[in-house]
């Protein structure tokens, strides 16, 4: 097996949790019921903590841990897993499909912004005008902040400012939602929602 370094790993995948030692936990960490022959220990597959059967009675898919079939998790992890499943089933595809934005006031040029679909590590900016220098890719894990910009008339969102680190320098890229046509505008807004979900998943653990 080839070890994949942290920098090459898909940022949405997680390592399997460390399972806590049985002997250290005579009681369920949630309801405090003492374990015995009829009340056995169960490890949550997502957090690795030890629960009684009742407190660890949720069967869910864990796409971030690459489990193919549903596995047993605790209640807290079942809520997280639900959000993760929604992200993998819906938002990740939106990010990889990409959407059009005006990048750093590059008007009238439009860039197709998308998550690189294979490694899912970086955002790519493709410009229809080949002569024009394309914006450098932004590595997802180097993003420091993602701030939505409200439109002038407060009718919704008009863009996103991503701050990221590039060789120890702080850089930023401004993505403005395209005003028209309607379908591109809608796609851009949907992409921004997906991007927010991705950032939340990666940085608010």
Q: Rule CB under 5 A: which residues touch Zn ion?
A: 28, 30-31, 44, 46-47, 52, 55, 74, 77
Nearest to 5, CA basis, from 90, 117, 119, 86:
119
CB-nearer residue toward Zn ion: 77 or 192: 77
Minimum distance from CB of 31 to Zn ion (Å)? Answer: 3
Nearest-approach distance from CB 91 to Zn ion, in angstroms = 22
Nearest residue (CB) to Zn ion, 32 versus 147: 32
Minimum gap (Å) between residue 79 Cβ and Zn ion: 10
In the complex, least distance from residue 33 CB atom to Zn ion, rounded to whole angstroms: 5
| Closest-CA residue to 126 (of 138, 134, 118) | 134
- The nearer residue to Zn ion, 77 or 143, going by C-beta atoms, is 77
48 vs 88, beta carbon nearer Zn ion: 48
By C-beta, is 42 or 114 nearer to Zn ion?
42
Q: How far is the CB of 205 from Zn ion (least distance, A)?
A: 13
Residue 100 has phi, psi (to 5 degrees) of -90, 135
């Amino acid at each position: 097996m080839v070890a994949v370094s942290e920098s090459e790993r898909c940022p949405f995948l997680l390592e399997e949790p460390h399972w806590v030692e049985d002997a250290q936990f005579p009681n369920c960490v949630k309801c405090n019921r003492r374990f015995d022959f009829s009340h056995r220990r169960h490890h949550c597959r997502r957090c690795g903590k030890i629960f009684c059967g009742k407190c660890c009675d949720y069967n869910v898919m864990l796409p971030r841990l690459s489990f193919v079939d549903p596995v047993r998790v605790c209640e807290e992890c079942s809520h997280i897993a639900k959000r993760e499943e929604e992200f993998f089933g819906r938002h990740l595809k939106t990010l990889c499909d990409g959407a059009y934005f005006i990048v750093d006031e590059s008007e009238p040029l439009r860039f197709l912004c998308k998550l690189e679909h294979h490694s899912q590590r970086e955002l790519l900016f493709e410009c229809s005008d080949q002569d024009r220098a394309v914006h450098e890719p932004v590595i997802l894990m180097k993003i420091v902040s993602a701030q939505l910009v409200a439109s002038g008339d407060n009718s919704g969102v008009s863009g996103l400012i991503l701050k990221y680190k590039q060789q120890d320098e702080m850089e930023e890229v401004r993505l403005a939602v395209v005003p028209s046509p309607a379908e591109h505008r809608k796609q851009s807004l949907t992409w921004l929602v997906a991007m927010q979900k991705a950032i939340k998943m990666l940085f608010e653990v």
